[in-house]
Amino acid sequence: MPTLLLAEDDAAIAETVLYALRAEGFDAEHVLLGGQVLPRLQRGGIDLLVLDVGLPDISGFEVCRRLRETHGLPVIFLTARSDEIDRVLGLEIGADDYMAKPFSPRELVARVRARLRRHEAAPSSRRGCFELDEEAHRIRFAGHWLELTRYEHALLAELLRRPGAILTRAQLLDRVWADALETGERTVDTHIKTLRAKLRQLDPARDPIRTHRGLGYSVDVD
């Protein structure tokens, strides 16, 4: 059964939501603060996040913006005000859906189901020891979904789209850092270095990113 995380500071709402989810057979965990969300996600095992916008420490929007740098899991916002809904509907926050308070717990459960189904059906392609999930912006390696920053993810995804092909630093800068203000070829090297370190942590024996002197980088997926 999927495990959900609920971030909600209102005890009455949290209790109702948790009850409804558990009654439908979901495992549901609960945190009260925005600052508790990322540490919990980092420990793994959460399939969907239900996130209140009005949390006492960090707003749900900020929590979502931060987690989107590394996590592709579906996020359903709980909002209390119409101006919040306007922001949720803006694309940049990265929400998958929202419910306006007061809402019916049954409706929330239906939305949760729909999101999980869609998420599972997202196209994801195997590339040897990697799995690139384009829709959810995540990459699996050695059996684990990688915790990558936005640029690390974009860089590895770019290499994985054509395994074995050598991409020059200029090409990578152009495709991965198109919207960044200050970059140089060192930017690519720095991110390759952190990527390698993260891959090595999961599988020290494999070193799938190849450096081609004077040319650029490629990735081996065999």
The smaller minimum CB distance to Ca ion, of residues 31 and 148, is found at 31
Q: Which residue is nearest to Ca ion (CB)?
A: 54
165-194 residues in contact with Ca ion (CB under 5 A) are: none
Token output for 47: 């399939």
| Helix (H), strand (E), coil (C) string for 131-164 | EEECCCCEEEECCEECCCCHHHHHHHHHHHHCCC
Kindly state the smallest distance separating residue 91's Cβ from Ca ion, in Å. 23
67-106 residues in contact with Ca ion (CB under 5 A) are: none
Token output for 177: 């850092």
The smaller minimum CB distance to Ca ion, of residues 11 and 23, is found at 11
Buried b (16+ CB within 10 A) or exposed e, 164-194: eeebebeebbeebbeeeeeeeeebbeebbee
Give the max Cα distance, the chain. Answer: 62
Kindly state the smallest distance separating residue 68's Cβ from Ca ion, in Å. 21
The smaller minimum CB distance to Ca ion, of residues 66 and 101, is found at 101
The smaller minimum CB distance to Ca ion, of residues 13 and 192, is found at 13
Report the Cα 170 to chain-centroid distance in Å. 27
Quote the CA–CA distance of 11 and 134 in Å, as a whole number. 37
Q: Which stretch binds Ca ion (CB under 5 A): 3-11, 23-31, 34-42, 210-218?
A: 3-11
The smaller minimum CB distance to Ca ion, of residues 52 and 158, is found at 52
Q: Which stretch binds Ca ion (CB under 5 A): 8-16, 131-139, 146-154, 174-182?
A: 8-16
Token output for 25: 């057979």
Among 6, 31, 47, 52, binds Ca ion (CB under 5 A): 52
The smaller minimum CB distance to Ca ion, of residues 9 and 133, is found at 9
Kindly state the smallest distance separating residue 179's Cβ from Ca ion, in Å. 33
Token output for 130: 């990697």
Per CB under 5 A, does 9 bind Ca ion? Answer: yes
Place of tokens 């990688």: 146
Residue type, 210: R
Report the Cα 150 to chain-centroid distance in Å. 9
Token output for 71: 């996590």
Kindly state the smallest distance separating residue 101's Cβ from Ca ion, in Å. 9
Report the Cα 206 to chain-centroid distance in Å. 24
Kindly state the smallest distance separating residue 10's Cβ from Ca ion, in Å. 5
Per CB under 5 A, does 54 bind Ca ion? Answer: yes
> What residue ranges bind Ca ion (CB under 5 A)?
9, 52, 54
